[in-house]
Each structure stands twice: as C-alpha cells, then as structure tokens.
Structure 1
Amino acid sequence: MDIQLLLTALVLGIVEGLTEFLPVSSTGHLIIVGDLLGYNDDTSKVFKIVIQLAAILAVCWDYRERLIKVAVGVPNDSAAQRFVGLLFVAFLPAAVLGLMFHSTIKDLLFNPLTVATALVVGGLIILYVEKRAYHPTVNSVDDMGWGDAIKVGFAQALAMIPGTSRSGATIMGGLIFGLSRKTAAEFSFFLAIPTMFAATAYDLYKNWALLKLEDLPVFAVGFVASFLAAMWAVKSFIRFISNHTFVVFAWYRIVFGLIVLATWQLDLVEWSEP
C-alpha cells in the first residue's frame, strides 16, 4: 500500500471538508493543493468527486432533523413544500448553466493560476460587500421569497468559475439581497445539497470508467477525513458568523491567491497552466 498516496488522500480530504462550506473555494483549494502534491491525474478526478460527496453528506447529517421534517412534510405541509420549492428555484440557474458550460469550464479554467486570480478577485468583492451599509430584511430561511431564491441561485452560478467559491457566491449574494448572515449561510448549506448531489452524479457518470477497486483504500481515507472535517467546519462557521464579518475570509483569499501568483511569476513553483 502506498503510504504517501494515503497521506495525500488524508490531506486533500481535510482540505475539502474544511473549505467546502467556507467562502474560500474548496474546488480552488483542491486544484492548488492537488497540483502542489502532484495528485492531478485521472484518478484524482474521481477522488475529488468522492470527497465532495463526503462533505455534502456531513452537512446532511448536521441538518438531519430539518431535512427529515421537510421530507416527511412535503406531501401535505405547505411550509415544507415552499422550502423545497425555494431550493429548486435557487438550484435551477447553476443546473442549466452547468449543463451548458461544464466541459468548457473544466477544460479551460481548472488550473491553479485561474484559481489564484479568482481567489483575489473574490476576496476584494467580499471586502466591498462588507463595507456596504448592512440592513438585513430577511432573518430566517422561512422568511425568504421566491425572488430571493432566484437571485441567490444566479449568484451561485458564478461559482462555476473555480476559485470563486460556491458558498462564497451564495452567501455574499444573500447579503447583497438582504439576507442576514446566518440566513445566507444556512440557505447556502441547504442549497449545496441538491447542487452538489447533482454535480457529483454528473461527474461520476462522466468518469465512471476511471473507478478502480484498488483505489478503494485511498478513497476511503479521503472520504472519512472530508466528512469529519466538514462536520466540524459547518458548526464552527455558524458560530463564527454569529459575531463576526467575512472580512477574515476575504484577506485569507487575497493573501493565498497572491502567494500562488507570486510563486508562479518568480518560477518558485511549476504550477500547471491553462
């Protein structure tokens, strides 16, 4: 058994779990860290799908009571039906645009330099959003309207550009459109469920031939690491934003992105290029 590969799987699993629901771009981190560790072959594509699935299962577990209540209530509970409807409306923009441009974006933009640039730009956008006057008008997911959902959905679609961050786009979009910090974060978590399950299913379908039984130990290590890290990150993130802004994440994105760009410009690291 390749111990180094198992350690790589452990590191990438932790990176995925910690960053999936934070506004820092998990896909971007996986691209950069995977490139740095030399794990960017065909098998890595399926591995990244598996650990992303683990992260979304973690948030399903964290919010299991709410999800079970909704699932049980859908046949006859208007509140549950409305909640599912909001998620569906918000899910549509990314679903439609993703089907149209998925392959093109992966071929042209999935590289460390694009990610680093998007990290910096996204960080600057977060700083701009945080400097605006903040007057939330929607203080609960249950108070969201159909217009709120579709606007957040189009914000999420921007995250097809790697390095943008799906959670970052939806949360910042939510703040701009009048959602409270906690509401924006929680709706981002809920919206991640159909979005990431759909993306995972599509990617697995496209890469099914790359699945190999001998890769199971590596996938298992990454899956468990991602699941546990995501559970911790989601709970910690909700506690953090109850009393803090997103400025720290903005500066983290900017510094991290600039470091990657500097190491490329100075030929200190041989990053994969478009």
Structure 2
Amino acid sequence: MFELFKAFLFGIVEGITEWLPISSTGHMILLDQFVKLGVSKDFYSMFEVVIQLGAILAVVVIYWKRIWPFHYQTNQKGLWKIMDEDIFFMWVKVVIACLPAVVAAVFNDEFEELFYNPVCVALALIVFGIGFIVIENMHKGSTPKITSISQMTYVLVFIIGIFQLLAAIFPGTSRSGATILGALLLGVSRTAAAEFTFFLAIPVMFGAGILKLVKFGLVFTNLEIWIMIVGLVTAFVTSIIAIKFLMQYIKKHDFKVFGWYRIILGILVLAYFFLIK
C-alpha cells in the first residue's frame, strides 16, 4: 500500500508539472531523491515516462473537438464523413514542430546520462525562469501578433519545435515551458502558445511513452501493474485540473509567477545538494 501511495504522489506531480511551465521531468527527478519507489531502476526509468500517457489522455478528453479532424454530416444519401481542413493543417504544423524532437529520440540515452542530475535540473529551472520574467517584461503592454494556431506559419512552428528540443536535452527546462517561451518570444499570445503546447505534447509524449514501454517489455509483477495504474489514473485526473487552471489563469495573468517559482526552486535545489547533502 505504501508503494501505491508513492505512485499516487508521482501521478500528482506529473499531472501538475507536465502542463504548468515548471518542468515535469525536473520535479520527477527531484521527487525521486526523497520518495524512492521500491522498484527496479529499469522499471522506474520506464515508469517516469509512461506515466505521461495519463497526462496526454487529459488533453485528448478536454480538446477532443479541437483535435479530431473527422466528422459525420447528413445529406440526402445518409451519413458521410468529412474532414475539417483547419484541424488537418493544425496537425501538419504539429508534425513539423515535432521534427527537431527526432534528434532527442536518437540520442535520448546519452542525454539522460549527461544531464539527468539535480544540478543540471536546478540550472535549467533558473535560466528558463529568468527567461519567462524577461520576455514577459519585454512584451508588457504590447498586443500579440498571433492569437490563434491557424495564424502560425510553418517556419514559426518549426522554430517552436527547436525550443522543445532544448527541453528534451536539458531536464528542468520543461517541455511546456520551452515551447511556450519560444512562442511568446515569436509574438504568439499566451493562450495560443499554451494550446499549441498541449497539442504538440500528444505525439511527442505518446511516442516517447510507447518507445519506453516496448524497450522495457510487457512483463510486469503484480505490484508494478498496480503502480502503473495508480500513476496513470492520478496523472490523468490531476492533468485535467491543471490544464483548466492554467487556461483560466493566463486569461488575466502572465507567466512571471512561474518564472519566479522556477528561480526559487532552482536555488533551493542547489543549496540542498551543495550545502546540506
């Protein structure tokens, strides 16, 4: 039961930090320093990625009508299926933005070995936290040039994809944080930046989760199965709450509070590992 409670905690952390621009991977690494799951190293490495599938499902449920391009209409011959062109081209943009992430998938093991440690996490938290504050101050009082995904060009979404690549290389950067920061820098509104980040996560996180699952294999102990179920369900429910909170919050506020949070957390992490541990 205690191991399941730990899985519950990991699910909560994943669900909140995956969508708020504060780094889910960074928080998962830090949580692992204090709350160790009683599982093998290989299972945990797979679990911290596969648990993201629960978070993805939350996006699919909330935005289903915005992401599913096929619809049925009735004519004289009965029901027939049509494709929404706006949604189709939105997915084309998502695919283009995902291309840089292929680099991270090829060298994922090397990146994990080099950068997946508390010090790198703390530095990334601080650097991108400063970035949020600086960019929000730069754009204060200005009107965004791009207020919807349909207005984004293919070149622009590819550049946003490069920002996402930074998050794949350096844990603590935050995938959502990097893509939102890149979008803001390019003149995209907060709402459009956040929504594109959500949609961009679907293929990236689904692909990463399935790849990890296949690499690990489909043989689990009973405890491992229950840990997966608890983590996935908790991440799903928490993600729904986090996404709805973020979209309401940014209608009236900017991202600076997340920047300050990242800086404070990064400093505390550095202090802990250099002065206490």
Task: Confirm or deny a common fold (TM above 0.5).
Answer: yes
Structure 1 position 45 matched with structure 2 position 51: no
Structure 1 or 2: more strand by fraction: 2
Distance 1:210 1:131, change over 3 A: farther
* Letter matched to residue 172 of structure 1: L
Tell me how far apart the structure 1 counterparts of residues 36 and 47 of structure 2 sit (CA, whole Å).
14
**Residue aligning to 1:93:** 100
Query: Aligned-pair distance for 1:210?
Result: 6.6
Determine helix, strand or coil for the equivalent of 1:34: helix
Q: For residue 11 of structure 2, what is the amino acid of its counterpart?
A: G
Counterpart amino acid of 2:46? V
* Match 2:166 to one of 143, 158, 164: 158
Residues 88-114 of structure 1 show CA distances to partners (whole Å, capped at 9, x for unaligned) of: 11111112x113321110111112221
User: 1:204 aligns to what?
Assistant: 213
Name the CA shift for 1:72/1:195 in 2 (closer, same or farther; >3 Å).
Answer: farther
Tell me which amino acid in the other structure corresponds to 1:131: N
Match of 1:13 in 2: 11
Change in 2 beyond 3 A, CA 1:102/1:21: same
Report which of the two structures shows the higher radius of gyration computed on alpha carbons.
Answer: 2
Residue 108, structure 1, aligned to residue 114, structure 2: yes
CA distance in 1 between partners of 2:221 and 2:30 (Å): 24
- How many residue pairs get aligned? The number is 264
Across the aligned residues of Structure 1 and Structure 2, the Cα RMSD in angstroms comes to 1.8
Contact 1:46 1:211 (C-alpha < 8 Å) held by counterparts: no
Alignment counterpart, residue 29 of structure 2, candidates 28, 31, 37: 31
After superposition, residues 1-274 of structure 1 pair within 5 angstroms as 3-39=1-37, 41-68=41-68, 70-72=69-71, 76-95=83-102, 97-133=103-139, 134-160=142-168, 161-208=170-217, 211-266=220-275, 268-269=276-277
Q: Is the 8 A contact 1:113 1:261 kept in 2?
A: yes
Cα contact 1:22–1:167 (8 A) shared by 2: yes
TM-score, structure 1 normalization: 0.91
**Separation (CA, whole Å) in 1 of partners of 2:101 and 2:123:** 21
Q: Identity of counterpart residues, as a percentage?
A: 39
Could you tell me whether the CA contact under 8 Å between 2:66 and 2:87 is conserved in 1?
Answer: no
Q: CA deviation at 1:49?
A: 2.4
What are the ranges of 5 or more consecutive residues in structure 1 without an aligned counterpart? 270-274
| SS of equivalent to 1:183 | helix
Whether the 8 Å CA contact 2:70–2:84 is kept in 1: the answer is no
2-structure distance, mates of 1:252, 1:210: 39
Partner Cα distance (1:59, 1:167) in 2: 13
Question: What amino acid sits opposite 1:109 in the alignment?
Answer: F
Give the distance between the partners of 2:32 and 2:219, measured in 1 at CA.
18
Query: What do residues 66-87 of structure 1 show as CA deviations (whole Å, max 9, x unaligned)?
Result: 122x244997443232111111
Is the CA contact (8 Å cut-off) linking 2:70 and 2:83 kept in structure 1? no
Letter in 2 for 1:36: F
Would the alpha carbon gap of residues 145 and 250 (structure 1) be closer, same or farther in structure 2, given more than 3 Å must change? Answer: same
CA distance in 1, matches of 2:172, 2:83: 41
Distance (whole Å) between structure 2 residues aligned to residue 46 and residue 89 of structure 1: 27
Q: Give the equivalent residue in structure 2 for 1:272.
A: none
Counterpart contact for 1:43–1:210, Cα < 8 Å: no
CA distance in 2, matches of 1:49, 1:30: 10
Q: Unaligned stretches of 5+ in structure 2?
A: 73-80
Q: Secondary structure at the match of 1:53?
A: helix
Looking at structure 1, the residues matched to 242 and 144 of structure 2 have their Cα atoms a distance apart, in angstroms, of 25
- Deviation digits for residues 144-188 of structure 1, max 9, x if unmatched? 111221111111111111000000011010011111110000000
